[in-house]
Each structure stands twice: as C-alpha cells, then as structure tokens.
Structure 1
Amino acid sequence: MELNGKIVAITGGGRGIGQAIAVGLAKKGAKIAILDLDQDALAKTKALVEAEGSEARGYQCNVADEEQVESTFSRIVADFGSIEGLVNNAGILRDAQLIKVKEGKVVKKMSAYHFELVVDVHMKGAFLCAREAAAHMVELGVKEGCIVSMSSIAYRGNFGQTNYSAAKAGIVSMSRVWAKELGPYNIRSMAVAPGTIETELLRSMPADILEDFAKMVPLRRIGNTDNIAQAVESIFENSYLSGDVMEVHGGFTI
C-alpha cells in the first residue's frame, strides 16, 4: 500500500505506541484519525501529526462501546471521505494472579470485573473497530485496505495476566480470521506482538527493575515505540503480508 494520502484510524492514539504509529504513518503522508478517551492526549498527537505536514482529526471514543464505535467510524468517513487503514491499539492493564495464596489460604482473587474490562477494551474493542472499518472499506470500494491489531508476546501466556494474555491471544486469532474473510475484498489483516517496550508505564518503574527487564532481552536493551511504529509501517507497505503475527521483542519470548 502506498501510504501517501491514505486515511488511517488509530485507536489509543493519544500517547505511547499509538502516538508513535500516528507520527510514523504521517511521515509517509497518511492522514490520521486519532481515537482516544483523553482529549488532551488527542490534541497532542494531532499537533505532532500536523507538524509532519499531514492532516489529523481527533475523536473521543470508548472502543468497547458499540454505538460510539459505529458513530465514530461514520464520522471519520464523513470527515475524510474514505478509510483505508486501521490500527487497533487501544488497551489497558489490570494485572493480578488468578488466585493469591498465603500460608495455604486464598487471600485474593482476580476480579471478574477486571477480567471483563481488559477483554472488552482489547478484544471487543478490536472486533468492533475492525468490523466498522471493514464495512466502510467494502462499501466505499477501496482498492486496498489494511487492518493491524496490536497483540503482545503475552499472548503465549504471561504470569499474572490471565485477562491480558487471553485478550491478546484472542486478537491474534481474530486477526487471522479476518485475513481469510476479508482477503477477497483485498483487505489485509495482521497482528503485531510487541515485547518489552519503553512507554510511560515502564518509565515510571524503578531503574533497577528496568535494568532487570533489559537483561532478560537477548539484545540487552528495551525496545522503543518507534520500533513498533516501524513494524506497522512495514505491514502497510508490504501488500502480501496478511494472516499472521509479527513479533517485535528483541529476541525475548515467553
């Protein structure tokens, strides 16, 4: 796909990986629809995209809310006139062990609310946004479309992340299904599974913990958001990439 002039929607685009992807695609000439709940974050990413000489619009949207997603994607198409790409990036963390045991007694359990919340934002959100983006692509008759959904190496199963791991595994499976179902319309679908990436959350951790994380990676360093943005760009630009997951982890796997 030639990105110049294409319209790409990015969920969770207000900060971190989403913001880096927005800026990276803007450098290639893509016009960016930024979805996030945080108005200030939306404004910041919009300004960064415009600084690259591209067009951007911000949309406050809860990706787990069906009506909001439907109306938001209709607005995107009305505002830009089309949509050729989607990056499903919105997500949250609510880590906890399934059960926590102390001296033979269960002292804590992962709450059903936190399980549902994480699955809703990651997996249901990706499903709703992919459905709406694909529907508009087909009805608009776009020549080529691309959906990239952010998973994680935790999709293999990570300690303390029942909810997150399940959601990220679901995203990989859904992405592969979409590649099969949407391929006849020349809409590609790929997942990206980042490893340990330097984000605001990671930077807030003590330096010794960050050093320990880095030592676990064969490259002996933590990745940055631009590494993920580069992976997403390569997927958009390679018109034969579809139906798989691209892992970006510096050699560290779970």
Structure 2
Amino acid sequence: MSLKGKVYALTGGASGIGFATAKVLAQRGATVSIADIDPDAMSTATAYFEEQGIEALVSRVDVSQRPQVEDWLDATVEKYGRLDGAANVAGIIGKHHGLRAVAELEDEEWHKIIAVNLTGTMYCLRAQLNRIVDGGSIVNVASIHGIKGRLQTAHSGSLKLTSIIRICQARRL
C-alpha cells in the first residue's frame, strides 16, 4: 500500500520500534516527522534518511514538555501541510525496572515515568487530535506491562488509559 503524500508523526522515532516504524512508513512513500530525545539516535536516524534520499524531519522533543510537543507538531504541519497519522512510541522504563516493587520505587523515578509514559502520551494525543486530517489514525504503543502487570512493573500499567482513549476517540476520526 502506497503512503505517498501522507505525513506521519512518531515519538520515540529515532530508535527501536519507533525507528523501525518510521522506516516502514518512509519505504511506503510517507513523509515522517520524528520526535526523540536521544541525540545519538537522532543522528543515526537523520543519516539513514539522508542516505536513502527520504524526506524526514527529526526533532529533539521531550514529550513530557507540552510546549515542545505543540511546537514539533506545528512545525510538522507548517512544513508538510498536513498530518495523516501518528505513532506515540516514546516511553521509559526507569532505572530499576523489574528489580524493585512499587513500594520501593523512588518518587523522582515515579514522576519521570508518569511524565513521559502517561502525561507525554496524553500531550501528544491531544495535540495530534487537534491537527490530524479526517480519517487519520493514531497508534499508542505500550509495553506488555500495560496489559499484563507484575509487582515490579505495576507503574507501567498506567499507559492502559491511552488505550481506552483510543477506543473512545476512534469514532471521532
């Protein structure tokens, strides 16, 4: 299926699942706008798309900062004229992932995980819904811990909320 003329925004798009998704979209003809926070991964992604002769916008965006999300999506729509879809892949697991129970989780780590994985996804989702074309699609990616919890990964389960939002918003799109 050709995606020529379509524009997709991806968070966490410079590495892992996000980068793989960006590559597939681009190989099918889409233009991709990538948000990431890792400078090394961003350099690698930029080099890849340049070598392939593929149009891509790679931006440093901390999804836990709403103004950065808004600016990135504004720049995407301004540059390409539209937003057809998005994949919210950015997420963190914390430095003690799988090693400590929730009762042992430090406040600072908890706040950072929630800021990126939940609040950041919400900032992205809200901004994308306000810019996406009719019939567009948004995918929110969560780890298996968002579906099937364990004592040491219960904090990851909060991302299930975005799956519920997706279902509720599907009718709107």
Is the pair's TM-score, using the shorter chain for normalization, greater than 0.5? yes
1:1-254 to structure 2, matched below 5 A, reads: 3-94=3-94, 95=97, 96-99=100-103, 109-137=104-132, 142-155=133-146, 156-166=148-158, 168-179=159-170, 183-184=171-172, 187=173
* Post-superposition offset of 1:37: 1.1
* Post-superposition offset of 1:159: 3.1
* Post-superposition offset of 1:133: 1.3
Query: Is the Cα contact below 8 Å between 2:3 and 2:30 reproduced in 1?
Result: yes
* Post-superposition offset of 1:127: 0.9
TM-score, normalised by the number of residues in structure 1: 0.62
CA distance in 1, matches of 2:169, 2:110: 24
* Post-superposition offset of 1:143: 4.1
Q: Alignment partner of 1:46: what SS?
A: helix
Q: For residues 194-241 of structure 1, give each alpha carbon's deviation from its aligned partner in whole angstroms, at most 9, with x where no partner exists.
A: xxxxxxxxxxxxxxxxxxxxxxxxxxxxxxxxxxxxxxxxxxxxxxxx
User: Unpaired runs of 5+ in structure 2?
Assistant: none
Q: Alignment partner of 2:152: what SS?
A: coil
CA distance in 2, matches of 1:163, 1:54: 38
TM-score, normalised by the number of residues in structure 2: 0.88
CA distance in 1, matches of 2:108, 2:167: 28
Among the aligned pairs, what percent are the same residue? 30
Structure with max Cα Rg:
1
Query: Is the Cα contact below 8 Å between 1:69 and 1:129 reproduced in 2?
Result: yes
Superposition CA RMSD, Å:
1.8
Q: Which has the higher strand share?
A: 1
CA distance in 1, matches of 2:30, 2:16: 19
Q: For residues 36-76 of structure 1, give each alpha carbon's deviation from its aligned partner in whole angstroms, at most 9, with x where no partner exists.
A: 11233212113323444421011111101111111111111
Q: For residues 153-204 of structure 1, give each alpha carbon's deviation from its aligned partner in whole angstroms, at most 9, with x where no partner exists.
A: 21221231121122x322222222222xxx23xx2xxxxxxxxxxxxxxxxx
Query: Is the Cα contact below 8 Å between 2:145 and 2:154 reproduced in 1?
Result: no
CA distance in 1, matches of 2:81, 2:43: 22
Q: Alignment partner of 1:59: what SS?
A: strand
Query: Is the Cα contact below 8 Å between 1:12 and 1:90 reproduced in 2?
Result: yes
Q: For residues 120-165 of structure 1, give each alpha carbon's deviation from its aligned partner in whole angstroms, at most 9, with x where no partner exists.
A: 101111111111111112xxxx342110010122122123112112
CA distance in 2, matches of 1:116, 1:175: 23
